[in-house]
Amino acid sequence: MTGVAILIPIALCLGLLGLGAFFWALRDGQFEDADGAAVRILIDEED
C-alpha cells in the first residue's frame, strides 16, 4: 500500500511533465514550421 502511495504520484508527475513539455512546445512555436525544421538541418553554416 505504501508502495502504491509513492508510485502513483510519481507516475502522475511524470505524465504531467510530458503534458507540460508538449504545451511548452506548442506555445513556443515548435510546430509552426514543420517543413522548414525538416530541411534546416541541411543548411551549411558558413561561419
Residues lying near other proteins in the complex (CB under 8 A) are found at 1, 4, 8, 11-12, 15-16, 18-19, 22-23, 26, 32-37, 39-46
Q: How far is the CB of 25 from other proteins (least distance, A)?
A: 10
Q: Which residues of 6-41 are buried (b: 16+ CB within 10 A; e: fewer)?
A: eeeeeeeeeeeeeeeeeeeeeeeeeeeeeeeeeeee
Q: How far is the CB of 36 from other proteins (least distance, A)?
A: 3
Give me Rg for the CA atoms of the chain: 19
Q: How far is the CB of 14 from other proteins (least distance, A)?
A: 10
